[in-house]
Amino acid sequence: MDKEITIYDIARKLSISPTTVSRGLNNHPAVNKNTKQKIFDAANQMGYRSNTFASKLRKQRTNTIGVIVPRLDSSFQSSVMAGMEKVANEAGYNLIISQSLETADKEVANARTMFENRVDGLLVSLAYDTENIDHFEPFFSKGIPLLFYDRVPENKKCTSIVINNIQAAHNATSHLIEQGCKRIVHISGNLKINVYKDRLKGYKYALMDANIPIKEDYIIETSLSEQAGIDAAKQILQMNPRPDGIFVANDNCAVTCIKTLKQEGVRIPDDIAIVGFNNDSITRVIDPNLTSIDYPGYEMGEIAVRSLINYLDGVSDVSITNTITLDSELVVRESSLRKVNQPTVLSKG
């Protein structure tokens, strides 16, 4: 029996991407006229037969992708949205964006609205208090592609885009240890959320690798708000002996922590060295500038939308790839560099 010709065969023959072939065969406006003609000619010559069932599904598209974010007033989420918008616009798709305002109830309502508006696919970063994802079941049952990013569930039915939070936190904590810190506090978020749970693991692994005892009272679980940074700093000031290093699970919380400690006469980094997470723009404003993990939000947004569109175009299946892991970097600045140590460095996560 002759091998069935696929879009991948056409792509190889023309030295173009399978996505371009798929869009060309479906007369997508993103593919220019000459390229479309070459695709049609090659398809006819090679004996390509389109998938009629898939074609019917494609005709029902709304060319909209839904996005549910925890908050829009986040530097990280803004970066993700910019990456999403770029890829969506280039491919002729529109984004419908809603925010859960960090509540599961609002997320449930947003998911229902997206489903009723017949979005072609859905991208989600979970709310702070989401503990199950039953409200996304209609998407699974109808075969509507659903992809989670950053804050993701532990569910094998889901494709997720993340960074290696364990390794990133390990790098951050190890850096503090290399600067001579031995009493390191970790200010965490909700430990039911994957990103904060993994950052705690990385913190603990780094301490174990350095043979530094793990002290449970050095782990402060907070909402990671600006007020949480103030409250955590006040708690740290009461500790005896006082910690000499702090790893904070986000930058906004780290910044208010630094400001509160400085108001009480603590020298940063000489008395307490501090590392944050996300590499938000505020890291370059606070004095001293904040060492932080650079989280590739823009790239994450690009990959999220591209993965969904590839699925819709029949190029890939989001139900096959469970996790896409991106690299992160530790960006070292003055908040963690002791005077006796080396200059600024970058380390991959």
The answer to whether residue 317 scores a pLDDT higher than 70 is no
pLDDT, one tens digit per residue, over 163-188 is 999 999 999 999 999 999 999 999 99
The answer to whether residue 93 scores a pLDDT higher than 90 is yes
The answer to whether residue 269 scores a pLDDT higher than 50 is yes
- Of the candidate ranges 1-10, 217-226, 283-292, the one whose mean pLDDT is the lowest: 1-10
For residue 182, what are its two tokens? 């031995």
Helix, coil or strand: residue 184: strand
pLDDT, one tens digit per residue, over 218-267 is 999 999 999 999 999 999 999 999 999 999 999 999 999 999 999 999 99
The answer to whether residue 54 scores a pLDDT higher than 90 is no
- Tell me if 62-162+297-326 shares its fold with 165-295+329-348: yes
Domain ranges (residues) in the chain:
7-58, 62-162+297-326, 165-295+329-348
Buried b (16+ CB within 10 A) or exposed e, 121-141: bbbbbbbbebeebebbeebee
User: What is the secondary structure of 114-133 as a DSSP string?
Assistant: HHHTT-SEEEE---TT----
What pLDDT sits at residue 345?
A: 44
Q: What is the rounded end-to-end Cα distance, in angstroms, of the chain?
A: 48
* Mean pLDDT, residues 116-127: 93
The distance from CA 298 to its chain's CA centroid, rounded to whole angstroms, is: 9
The answer to whether residue 32 scores a pLDDT higher than 70 is yes
CATH architecture of 165-295+329-348: 3-Layer(aba) Sandwich (3.40)
The answer to whether residue 46 scores a pLDDT higher than 90 is no
Percent of the chain with pLDDT over 90: 68
Q: What is the mean pLDDT of the chain?
A: 89
Contact 244, 271 (CB under 8 A): yes
What pLDDT sits at residue 277?
A: 97
**Which band of pLDDT confidence, cut at 50, 70 and 90, is reported for residue 125?**
very high
User: What is the secondary structure of 7-30 as a DSSP string?
Assistant: HHHHHHHHTS-HHHHHHHHTT-TT
Helix and strand numbers, DSSP H then E, in the chain: 12, 13
**The dihedral sign for the CA sequence 238, 333, 330, 70:** positive
What pLDDT sits at residue 300?
A: 96
Tell me the C-alpha distance between 269 and 336, whole Å: 5
The answer to whether residue 57 scores a pLDDT higher than 60 is no
What pLDDT sits at residue 50?
A: 61
The answer to whether residue 343 scores a pLDDT higher than 80 is no
The answer to whether residue 289 scores a pLDDT higher than 70 is yes
Q: Give the CATH H-level superfamily of domain 62-162+297-326.
A: Response regulator (3.40.50.2300)
Tell me the C-alpha distance between 79 and 62, whole Å: 25
Candidate CATH numbers 3.40.190.10, 1.10.230.10, 2.40.50.1020, 1.10.260.40; the one for domain 7-58: 1.10.260.40
**Which band of pLDDT confidence, cut at 50, 70 and 90, is reported for residue 1?**
very low
For residue 75, what are its two tokens? 């530097």
